[in-house]
Amino acid sequence: MKKIAFVFTHVPHGSSGGREGLDAVLATSALTEEIGLLFLSDGVFQLLPEQQPDQILMRNYIATFGVLALYNIEQCFVCTDSMFERGIDQDTVLVIDAIRLNQQQMHERLSGYDVVLTF
């Protein structure tokens, strides 16, 4: 069974990429249990609570991250270096329980996947 990584690198509500990535994650979960989510660069913003996308007339899909456990998706990682570069405190509570790794650890983790999809 192939291991598939979904890498989120863009802000959540500037485009539909984050929502489409999350939809792809949920759809792929029916095909394999070897799924990992990695949040790098501006993708760390996907995990911040209390977002208000309705202010820019966007759909709030961030709450959908809460159903990942129902789909047995437990391998979620967030880059602490990306968080620091964007002024996000390392103790910030995120919308999912993501394992915090530095940039080097993220690259090592990513190398263990057979397929990498970036959103």
CB 96, CB 48: distance < 8 Å: no
Token digits for 32? 């394999």
**pLDDT tens column, 59-73:** 778 888 889 989 999
Give yes or no for a contact between 4 and 115, defined as CB atoms under 8 angstroms apart: yes
* pLDDT of the residue at 56: 66
Which CATH number does the domain housing residue 58 bear? 3.40.1260.10
Q: Under DSSP, is residue 109 helix (H, G, I), strand (E, B) or coil?
A: helix
DSSP letter (8 states) at residue 116: E
Q: Which domain holds residue 94?
A: 4-118
Pairing verdict, β 75-79 and 99-101: parallel
In the chain, the number of structural domains is 1
Half-sphere exposure for 65 (CA within 13 Å, toward CB): 24
**pLDDT tens series, the chain, 119 aa:** 899 999 999 998 877 888 899 999 999 999 988 999 999 999 999 999 888 767 767 777 888 888 998 999 999 999 999 999 999 999 999 999 999 999 999 999 999 999 999 99
**How far apart (Å, rounded) are the C-alpha atoms in residues 19 and 46?**
10
